[in-house]
Chain A
Amino acid sequence: MSTVPSGAMGRYRWLWWLAAAATVAATGRSLERVGLPPVSLVETGLLAMTPLALAAVGECLNEKAGLVNIGLEAIFMVAATVGVWCAELGRSGYVGLAGGALTGAVMGLGLGAVSVYGRADQVIAGMGLNVFALGFVPFLLISLWAFPGIHVFPNELMIPRIPTPVGQVSPVTVAAVLAAVLAHLLLHRTVLGFRIRAVGERPEAVDVAGLRVDRLRLLTATLGGTLAGLGGAFLPLGWFGALVKEISAGRGFIALACVVFAGLEPLVALGAALLFGLADGVASAVAVTPGLKERVPFYFVSMIPYVVTLAVVAVVIGGRRFPSTVGRPYARE
């Protein structure tokens, strides 16, 4: 009954990394041939990777502790909206990022609390958050800016990007990579991580050892929410430059796919996020490249990230489900 989520790729991890790198390189070359600049592709890919990676890394921690958050999509949407609002209030994109992270923290904590204390069905509760966001975000858009569907904010609120050899990179992207590394170290190198892994595998053991199951799980739920909230605020403030009501567009679920793919390992989840981010990058690049955008209907280009995710879920992940302990409430009685 113990599911040891042995990284997506087990012993041949390096082989998979190699294959992924080769695929990326090959895709880059072939895209270059049809007139797509690889630099912009990598740039967009890294931008698209950032929210996925942040949410996926947080969700890895959350699921390691035995909770599951299907509401990442909702956190993205609400945090993006609140983030822009905070940015405008504080006249700084960074204030917006903080506001988004805080929003995510509150939502993650709320979901964690009903899961831990209310023994909620976490999948349904998470879905409830998603449906809530579907109504609440358009409501907020009209209430705050009196504009249905879209809000363009001043350009100076955008988080400036740093020029690097691989193009313009957002500091949030760096933070996402850092988050993955830190989450890995936390899980595998610290006492806290030791306890988090224990509570996910066998909450009873943690309980009889005199540790608090509820606190550990609330901690990871909040951490996961914070990272997802940061990712959500990044969408408008670090990437799109505008707020639309369906800004997340399924990315919360793609982040979940990253988590399943990664077998709950943050570093692998980062890799998965890069893969899906590049798919998104390809889509964005195709949509703006002259000579190509006329030939491929926009609607089909828009499908690319979802088709890629579906294919990966079907082919690579296959039978792997969320680990059996994940999502089950812990109760003594």
Chain B
Amino acid sequence: MADVVDGGVSAPAPRVQMRGIHKVYPDGTAALRGVDFRLHPGEIVGLLGENGAGKSTLMKILSGLLRPTRGEVLVEGHPARFRNPSDALRCGIGMVHQVFTLVPPFTALQNVLLGQEGAGLLRALPEASARARVQALLDELGLDVPLDVPVESLPVGVQQRVEICKTLYRGTSVLILDEPTSALTPGEADELFRFLRRLRDRGVGVVLITHKLREVLEVTDRVVVLRQGMVVGELSTGSATAENLAELMVGQVTGLRVRRTPRAPGQPVLSVRGLWVRDDQGRLAVRDLSFDVREGEIFGVAGVEGNGQSELVQALTGLRRFEAGEVRLEGQAVPTLEPLALYRRGLAHVPEDKARFGLALGFDLVENSILGRQRENQFLRGLGRLNRPAIVRYARELVERFHVVAPDLATPVRNLSGGNQQRLLVGREVSKQPKLVVAMHPTRGLDVASTVYIRELLVQLRDVGKAVLLVSADLDEVLELSDRVAVMYGGQFLAVGPSDHFRRETVGLLMGGVVPTGDADQPRAPSPR
């Protein structure tokens, strides 16, 4: 399938090697089926694959967090058996997880020290003496981290540096990073890559778990591609192209790009004026936002997560109260935003976290198909009884129309794959005959087929004249699907304009809060108020 590089006899012993790794989870899922992997000092290996391909599982085994069902791990050529992460750390293997493993109220220094306190259990935490050592390490690595602030108040990019520092403080020479750029701005990602190259030059072996082709091509020396728990290709980055990596990753060349024909938008469906929203901590997360979403257009909001997108969407869909502002639907003011009233006026909502908001995982497909629609007369009989036959008929229709794969309608949706869960949810929302569709991260964590399917569906909705508000942290998704794009930063839109006026680099800067100056393509910046 692909040419295997540097398997020659002259190659030095790998720093770590994994042979014939199998992993079957307690629920019976086979995550890995005979994977071989090796890493040399001073190289960056990209571990590429779709969601669920087994990348994280493989590296969790290497870092001692999981135990393989079968297979062996060799460190410097000697078999090693890791019972927990500290065993792996002792062999110099450390992992930075996708979801950070930081204690939120602890300071960066305390987080680095956890487990490495260097004092008896009943002694005081020797923060003062450790500080010098941690600071020295940071200086040596060229990382800038404030040591005495609770990490929960640090930006995600800085939290990541704390994570990396934590790992390297333990003397790690094999560093594994799981999807490290998912919450970073493009600028921050570049900075991270420069740092990884410096580490490589110092002899550290780096594994970069990712599903983004761009990153693999940019920073790695060698790529290992996983699909359905097996290695389907291993090649040196120099000989790889985006096309052949994509083909290896998904199995066939798919039209990833969704075709979008130009279309003149109509009347505004959603009009927002001067909206202010607070987050759970009471901070103003959305600050004085004004925008329209019109018939037959997709209005995309790009931005790094945590810049007020969640609060904006929750306010517009009635899940969060807003402080001030005015929201109009089809020109009519909506005084209080309440979910059911909004649905009646034509709102469909694909929430950011389907398992949290949009589905009841313990309920079956039938009951999930009317979630949010349970008060509609077509699903009810006298005395407030549910019209079960009508609901079952409707659920079956959803399953067929939106290609939901499920054993039967009585299956709890917990047992469906993420893609099928999202198809059911999106199908339910779309079949409401909405006028406005609000979708947040609609393809997050989905397989490629479902991603393409849902993106196409959103474009179809736009083509038949619906207004679509798309909020996504996936910059490429926003740029590809939207007619108009806004970049959200710190609760405000730093720029709004037609999507073809934006260059990817410009958006990247804006996502980091940098407003580029002197750029000919510069879209309309917000007018000072």
Contact = CB atoms under 8 A, between A and B. Distances in A.
Q: Do chains A and B touch in the complex (CB under 8 A)?
A: yes
B474 to A, nearest CB: 23
Given A2-B105, A2-B152, A198-B103, A209 B124 contact: no
B56 to A, nearest CB: 12
A6 to B, nearest CB: 9
Contacts of B63: 208
Given A191-B123, A205-B101, A208-B101, A332 B66 contact: yes
Contact of B122 (A2, A191, A204): A191
B394 interface: no
B328 interface: no
Interface in A5-48: none
Contacts of A191: 117, 119-125
B117 A194 contact: yes
B102 A205 contact: yes
A206 interface: yes
A318 interface: no
A190 B115 contact: no
B115 A211 contact: yes
Instruction: Summarize A's interface: helix, strand, loop or mixed.
Output: helix
B122 A192 contact: yes
B105 A201 contact: yes
Chain B CB within 10 A, most for which of A2, A190, A208, A210? A208
A165 B63 CA distance: 61
Contact of B114 (A189, A195, A332): A195
A201 B60 CA distance: 22
11 contacts: A2-B104, A2-B105, A190-B123, A191-B122, A194-B110, A194-B117, A207-B84, A208-B97, A209-B116, A210-B87, A332-B60
Contacts, number: 86
Contact of A194 (B26, B86, B89, B125): B125
Interface string A177-204: 0000000001001111011011001101
Chain B CB within 10 A, most for which of A1, A2, A191, A332? A191
Contact of A210 (B66, B84, B97, B110): B84
Contact of B121 (A4, A192, A201, A206): A192
A333 B25 contact: yes
Chain B CB within 10 A, most for which of A186, A205, A212, A332? A205
Chain A CB within 10 A, most for which of B106, B114, B119, B120? B114
Interface in B85-134: 85-87, 89, 95, 97, 99, 101-106, 110-111, 114-117, 119-125
Interface residues of A, number: 25
A96 B6 CA distance: 72
Contacts of B115: 195, 206, 209-211
A190 B124 CA distance: 4
A4 B152 CA distance: 11
B26 to A, nearest CB: 7
B467 to A, nearest CB: 33
A178 to B, nearest CB: 16
Given A2-B104, A2-B105, A198-B106, A333 B120 contact: no
A198 B87 CA distance: 20
A332 B65 contact: yes
A211 B66 CA distance: 15
Contacts of B152: 2
A27 B104 CA distance: 42
A205 B89 contact: no
Nearest to B111: A205
B85 A210 contact: yes
A113 B97 CA distance: 28
Contacts of A205: 101-103, 111, 114
Contacts of B25: 333
Interface in B146-198: 152, 166
Given A189-B124, A208-B65, A333-B66, A201 B103 contact: yes
B134 to A, nearest CB: 14
Contacts of A194: 110, 114, 117, 125
Contacts of B117: 191, 194
Going nearest first, the 3 A-B pairs with the smallest beta carbon separation are A210-B86, A209-B115, A2-B104
B120 to A, nearest CB: 7
